């Protein structure tokens, strides 16, 4: 009888231990969102955060550390650039090549143990000349932010990333601090056209940093190609005989890019033959038709080409004015 009771007690204790272990494992089980998530999931999370401008996942081809999917290494690593970090400080082209300093990164590991081991290694650089920025373990993930951000900026960005990874979108601060005022600037611009230079001067007067201004110009939703086209049309409307060279100098001064200028020139509603004609009439009104035909016809044609008009536009304008 004693043996039976002893056996029953042992079985009872064993069941208790197993149940306890089962409950512990149940409690310790990580939410799937932060338990070795895919790079695709991480990218979708980062897209929800304002001021993150570019996102790029590591592949075996571009892996800077060569640890992707290796024993103890990360199963995914996603780098991102951030608006409040001056991207002009970097010579590299891609976000992966720029590294965590250009904004931050999210490193994903198979286990919490691997993530904590990596985090401990990163901690050895804290406070030193090669500090790697902030880093926090959440599940099997390490959220990192750039050392070029202030402490408060790091904390804010880190908080938003962790909330996004956990699926707690309601906790993300989705307000773009620059958008409302920029929309006001756009709405109040003269003739409904705004230039990059005008934006820069406006925000410089309000003592915004160059990093903030560059972000506003690049990412606040303005199609600068269309603005360049509208600016060219406006200049042509108020200046008879304006040349393409003058247009180019004006738009570059106003900080439009060459690509934006070329788009504007090709898509604008301007009769360039008529502009070439007006240029000839204005600049060479003292020349008689006979003088031009006898002496200067080719010279004036080449001058028009030198002013940016195409060969066809120049020839048609010369024919229209001098026959």
Sheet (strand 52-57) strand order:
52-57, 76-82, 103-108, 141-145, 134-138
Contact 199, 258 (CB under 8 A): no
Nearest-angstrom CA–CA distance, 112 and 307: 66
CA 71 to chain centre: 33
Which among 173, 115, 111, 171 is positioned nearest to 143, based on CA atoms?
115
User: How high is the pLDDT of residue 27?
Assistant: 43
The pLDDT of residue 2 is 53
State the first-to-last Cα distance of the chain, in angstroms, to the nearest integer: 128
Closest CA to 179 of 143, 150, 216, 149: 216
- E strands within the chain? 52-57, 76-82, 103-108, 134-138, 141-145
Task: Give CA–CA dist 54/183, Å, rounded.
Answer: 22
- Domain range annotation of the chain: 32-171
Give the Å distances, CA to CA, from 144 to 74, 117, 140, 141, 157.
14, 15, 13, 10, 9
Angle at 50 between CA 46 and CA 51, to 5 degrees: 95
Q: Sign of dihedral through CA atoms 314, 316, 322, 323?
A: positive
Per-residue DSSP letters for 223-284?
-HHHHHHHHHHHHHHHSTT--HHHHHHHHHHTT--HHHHHHHHHHS---HHHHHHHHHHHHS
Helix, strand, coil share (%) of the chain residues, nearest 5: 60, 10, 35
Element (H, E) at 26: helix 2-28
pLDDT tens, residue order, the chain (323 aa): 555 444 444 555 554 545 455 444 444 577 888 999 999 999 999 999 999 999 999 999 999 989 999 999 999 999 999 999 999 999 999 999 999 999 999 999 999 999 999 999 999 999 888 788 999 999 999 999 999 999 999 999 999 999 999 999 999 998 888 887 787 777 766 557 889 999 999 899 999 989 989 988 888 888 999 999 999 999 999 888 889 999 999 999 999 999 999 999 999 999 999 999 899 888 888 888 888 787 888 888 898 899 999 999 989 988 888 88
Q: SS3 letters for 47-77? A: CCCCCEEEEEECCCCCCCCCCCCCCCCCCEE
pLDDT of 89: 92
How buried is residue 166: exposed, middle or buried, by Cβ count under 10 Å (0-12/13-18/19+)? middle
Of 284, 309, 310, 312, the closest CA to residue 297 belongs to: 284
């Amino acid at each position: 009888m004693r043996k039976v009771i002893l056996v029953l007690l042992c079985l009872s204790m064993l069941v208790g231990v197993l149940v306890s272990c089962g409950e512990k494992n149940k409690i310790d089980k990580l939410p799937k969102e932060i338990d070795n998530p895919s790079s695709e999931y991480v990218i979708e999370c980062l897209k929800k955060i304002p001021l993150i401008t570019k996102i790029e996942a590591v592949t075996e081809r571009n892996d800077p550390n060569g640890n992707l999917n290796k024993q103890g290494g990360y199963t995914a690593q996603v780098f991102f650039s951030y608006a409040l970090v001056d991207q002009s400080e970097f010579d590299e082209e891609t976000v992966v090549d720029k590294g965590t300093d250009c904004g931050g990164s999210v490193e994903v590991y198979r286990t919490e143990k691997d993530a904590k081991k990596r985090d401990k290694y990163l901690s050895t650089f804290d406070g030193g000349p090669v500090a790697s920025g902030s880093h926090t373990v959440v599940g099997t993930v390490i959220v990192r932010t750039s050392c070029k951000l202030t402490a408060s900026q790091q904390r804010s960005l880190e908080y938003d990333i962790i909330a996004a990874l956990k699926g707690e979108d309601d906790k993300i601060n989705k307000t773009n601090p620059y958008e409302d005022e920029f929309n006001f600037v756009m709405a109040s611009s003269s003739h409904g056209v705004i230039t990059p230079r005008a934006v820069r001067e406006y925000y410089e007067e309000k003592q915004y940093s160059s990093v903030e201004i560059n972000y506003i110009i690049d990412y606040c939703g303005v199609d600068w190609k269309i603005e360049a086209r509208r600016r060219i049309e406006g200049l042509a409307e108020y200046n008879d005989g304006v040349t393409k060279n003058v247009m180019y100098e004006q738009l570059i001064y106003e900080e439009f890019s060459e690509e934006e200028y070329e788009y504007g020139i090709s898509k604008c509603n301007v009769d360039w033959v008529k502009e070439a004609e007006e240029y000839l009439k204005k600049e060479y009104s003292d020349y008689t038709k006979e003088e031009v035909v006898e002496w200067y016809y080719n010279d004036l044609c080449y001058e028009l080409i030198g002013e940016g008009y195409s060969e066809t536009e120049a020839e048609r304008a010369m024919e229209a004015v001098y026959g």
